[in-house]
Amino acid sequence: MTQHRIKLYQGSVNPCSYLDNREAVNIYADPHHPNPRAVYNQLIKRGFRRSGEYVYRPGCSDCSACVPVRIRCEEFQSRRTDRRNLQRNDDLQVDFQNARYTEEYFELYQRYLSMRHPNGGMDNPDPEDFERFLLNPWGETLFVEVRKSGRAIAVAVTDATSDGLSAVYTFFDPTELSRGLGTFCILQQIELCRSMNIPYLYLGYWVDGCQKMQYKTDFRPQEHFDGHEWVDSA
């Protein structure tokens, strides 16, 4: 694969989204590169992620809590709790749609943010916020759509990359907490990787000390990027 020369830029300092009383800064790939999809395919293997049309990674000088992780899907072994999750949700319909804005998706996104992340900086979104954050003008993004009796209750935003899928973001009906829809969506993405014979599901960052990110360690075998290479996670 051709390796592209990529300019990197440092963003501004902001309050950390994961750890209290910390500041954070991101490093961004050149948004004007002539082949942004190739940049993404190259950099996701180096621990980068996507937000909207921007490819980034944390660049905090005094903190390394954000650790990129990915699941080796072919070797994935479901736990008893995973099998129970699938049984509990066997009345749901799963489909794969091209990423797009719809009023139904947006209303679900609004409800999710207002109840799950109040005062978190993302609540009260408008349609442009939805499109700016979740859609991607240059990539190949799909929505793993979960429906109950015809009504959308979860959407997992998923990017196709050169060696796997990347779980970008998941939002779901906050009144359906007992279903474990976050876990259900990861299991669907793992199964999609296996059906397509692609090796990895990139889960983004596991953050030591952040409780809401601890679920990512439950899916094994997985690897983490140590800044130089991907290594087995203990």
The fold for domain 70-204 equals Aminopeptidase (3.40.630)
Strand order, beta sheet including 230-232: 93-98, 141-148, 151-161, 164-172, 200-207, 66-72, 222-225, 230-232
pLDDT digit string (tens) for 82-136? 999 999 999 999 999 999 999 999 999 999 999 887 666 577 799 999 999 999 9
Exposed e or buried b per residue across 155-192, where buried means at least 16 C-beta atoms within 10 angstroms of its C-beta: bbbbbbbeebbbbbebbbbbebeebbbbbbbbbbbbbb
Whole-number pLDDT of residue 119: 63
The overall average pLDDT reported for the chain is 94
Contact between residue 198 and residue 189 where contact means Cβ atoms under 8 Å apart? no
* Per-residue pLDDT tens listing for the chain (234 residues): 567 789 999 999 999 989 999 999 999 999 999 999 999 999 999 999 999 999 999 999 999 999 999 999 999 999 999 999 999 999 999 999 999 999 999 999 999 999 887 666 577 799 999 999 999 999 999 999 999 999 999 999 999 999 999 999 999 999 999 999 999 999 999 999 999 999 999 999 999 899 989 999 999 999 999 999 999 997
Six-digit token string for 108: 């679900």
Nearby residues of 220 by Cβ (< 8 Å), 6 or more positions away = 71, 76, 77, 233
Whole-number pLDDT of residue 234: 72
Nearby residues of 99 by Cβ (< 8 Å), 6 or more positions away = 134, 135, 136, 141, 142, 143, 157
Domain ranges of the chain: 70-204
Whole-number pLDDT of residue 3: 73
